[in-house]
Structure 1
Amino acid sequence: MFNRRNFLKLSAASAAVATISKSALAKNIATPVAPNLPVVISTWDFGIPANKEAWRILKDGGRALDAVEAGVKIPEADMSNHTVGRAGYPDRDGHVTLDACIMDENGNCGSVAAMENIAHPITVARLVMEKTPHVMLVGEGATQFAIEQGIKKEKLLTPESEKAWKEWLKTAKYSPVMNIENAQHKPGNQYNHDTIGMLAIDAKGNISGACTTSGMAFKLHGRVGDSPIIGAGLYIDNEVGGATSTGVGEEVIRNVGSFLVVELMRQGMSPEEACKEAVHRIIRKKPETAKQIQVGFLAINKKGEYGAYAIQDGFSFAVCDTQKQDLLIKGKSFYK
Structure 2
Amino acid sequence: MKRRKFLQSAALTGLGLTIGSALTACADEKNNEVKTAVAGTSTTAKPIIPIVIATWNVPNATQKAWDVLQEGKSALDAVEQGVRVEEADENNQSVGIGGLPDRDGNVTLDACIMDKEGNYGAVVCIENIKHPISVARKVMEDTPHVLLAGNGAKQFAVESGFTPENLLTESSKKAWEKWKIEAKYKPIINVENHDTIGMLAIDKNGDISGACTTSGLSYKMQGRVGDSAIIGSGLFIDNEIGGATATGMGEEVLKTVGSFLIVELMRQGRTPQEACEEAVKRVVKKSPNFKDFQVGYIAVNKQGETGAYCIHEWFNYTVYQDNENKNHKSDYYSKKS
Q: Indicate the TM-score class for this superposition, using the shorter chain for normalisation.
A: 0.7 to 0.9
Q: Distance in 2 between matches of 1:254 and 1:90?
A: 24
Q: Given the superposition, is the C-alpha separation of residues 41 and 148 from structure 1 closer, same or farther in structure 2, using an over 3 Å criterion?
A: same
**Residue 259 of structure 2 corresponds to which residue in structure 1?**
258
Are positions 1:309 and 2:316 aligned together?
A: no
**Residue 183 of structure 1 corresponds to which residue in structure 2?**
190
Instruction: Please list the CA deviations of residues 177-203 of structure 1 after superposition, one character each: whole Å capped at 9, or x if unmatched.
Output: 2x24x215xxxxxx6311000000000
**Residue 116 of structure 2 corresponds to which residue in structure 1?**
105
Of 56, 64, 80, which residue of structure 2 is paired with 1:53? 64
Is the CA contact 2:33–2:46 (under 8 Å) kept in the aligned structure 1? no
SS of the residue corresponding to residue 170 of structure 1 reads: helix
Q: Given the superposition, is the C-alpha separation of residues 239 and 53 from structure 1 closer, same or farther in structure 2, using an over 3 Å criterion?
A: same
**Residue 217 of structure 2 corresponds to which residue in structure 1?**
216
**Residue 48 of structure 2 corresponds to which residue in structure 1?**
36
Provide TM-score, normalisation by structure 2. Answer: 0.85
Provide TM-score, normalisation by structure 1. Answer: 0.86
Q: Distance in 2 between matches of 1:130 and 1:279?
A: 33
Q: Distance in 1 between matches of 2:304 and 2:132?
A: 27
Which moves more between the two structures, 63-72 or 32-41? 32-41
SS of the residue corresponding to residue 204 of structure 2 reads: coil
One-letter amino acid matched to 2:233: A
Is the CA contact 1:240–1:266 (under 8 Å) kept in the aligned structure 2? yes
Are positions 1:329 and 2:336 aligned together?
A: no
Gapped regions of structure 2 (runs ≥ 5): 1-25, 27-31, 35-44
Q: Distance in 2 between matches of 1:145 and 1:35?
A: 40
> How far does residue 322 in structure 1 lie from its aligned partner after superposition?
2.5
Q: Distance in 2 between matches of 1:141 and 1:257?
A: 28
Q: Distance in 2 between matches of 1:238 and 1:92?
A: 39
Q: Distance in 2 between matches of 1:159 and 1:300?
A: 38
Q: Indicate the percent of aligned positions where both proteins have the same amino acid.
A: 57
Q: Given the superposition, is the C-alpha separation of residues 39 and 153 from structure 1 closer, same or farther in structure 2, using an over 3 Å criterion?
A: same
**Residue 228 of structure 1 corresponds to which residue in structure 2?**
229
Is the CA contact 1:36–1:323 (under 8 Å) kept in the aligned structure 2? no
- Which of the pair is proportionally richer in strand? 2
SS of the residue corresponding to residue 291 of structure 1 reads: helix
> How far does residue 35 in structure 1 lie from its aligned partner after superposition?
4.6
Q: Given the superposition, is the C-alpha separation of residues 31 and 104 from structure 1 closer, same or farther in structure 2, using an over 3 Å criterion?
A: farther
SS of the residue corresponding to residue 334 of structure 2 reads: coil
Is the CA contact 1:43–1:317 (under 8 Å) kept in the aligned structure 2? yes
One-letter amino acid matched to 2:258: G
Of 157, 160, 164, which residue of structure 1 is paired with 2:168? 157
One-letter amino acid matched to 2:205: K
User: Higher RCO, 1 or 2 (CA under 8 Å, sep at least 6)?
Assistant: 2
CA RMSD in angstroms comes to 1.6
SS of the residue corresponding to residue 203 of structure 1 reads: coil
Instruction: Please list the CA deviations of residues 200-226 of structure 1 after superposition, one character each: whole Å capped at 9, or x if unmatched.
Output: 000000000000000011011100100
SS of the residue corresponding to residue 164 of structure 2 reads: coil
Are positions 1:134 and 2:141 aligned together?
A: no
Is the CA contact 1:243–1:259 (under 8 Å) kept in the aligned structure 2? yes
Instruction: Please list the CA deviations of residues 90-116 of structure 1 after superposition, one character each: whole Å capped at 9, or x if unmatched.
Output: 000000000000000000010000100
**Residue 172 of structure 1 corresponds to which residue in structure 2?**
183
After TM superposition, the structure 1 = structure 2 runs for residues 20-35 of structure 1, keeping only pairs within 5 Å, are 32=34, 34-35=46-47
Q: Distance in 2 between matches of 1:193 and 1:44?
A: 12
One-letter amino acid matched to 1:162: K
Which moves more between the two structures, 261-270 or 35-44? 35-44
Gapped regions of structure 1 (runs ≥ 5): 1-23, 25-29, 185-190
**Residue 99 of structure 2 corresponds to which residue in structure 1?**
88
Is the CA contact 1:31–1:205 (under 8 Å) kept in the aligned structure 2? no
Q: Distance in 2 between matches of 1:63 and 1:98?
A: 25
**Residue 243 of structure 2 corresponds to which residue in structure 1?**
242
Are positions 1:272 and 2:284 aligned together?
A: no
> How far does residue 335 in structure 1 lie from its aligned partner after superposition?
1.1
One-letter amino acid matched to 2:62: N
**Residue 4 of structure 1 corresponds to which residue in structure 2?**
none
**Residue 320 of structure 1 corresponds to which residue in structure 2?**
320
> How far does residue 119 in structure 1 lie from its aligned partner after superposition?
0.4
One-letter amino acid matched to 2:190: A
Is the CA contact 2:33–2:47 (under 8 Å) kept in the aligned structure 1? no
Is the CA contact 1:243–1:298 (under 8 Å) kept in the aligned structure 2? yes
Q: Given the superposition, is the C-alpha separation of residues 258 and 79 from structure 1 closer, same or farther in structure 2, using an over 3 Å criterion?
A: same
Matched residues, number: 296
Is the CA contact 1:41–1:318 (under 8 Å) kept in the aligned structure 2? yes
One-letter amino acid matched to 1:143: K
Instruction: Please list the CA deviations of residues 70-105 of structure 1 after superposition, one character each: whole Å capped at 9, or x if unmatched.
Output: 000011000100011111000000000000000000
Q: Distance in 1 between matches of 2:48 and 2:333?
A: 30
SS of the residue corresponding to residue 183 of structure 1 reads: coil
Q: Distance in 1 between matches of 2:181 and 2:323?
A: 50
Is the CA contact 1:300–1:307 (under 8 Å) kept in the aligned structure 2? yes
> How far does residue 293 in structure 1 lie from its aligned partner after superposition?
0.5
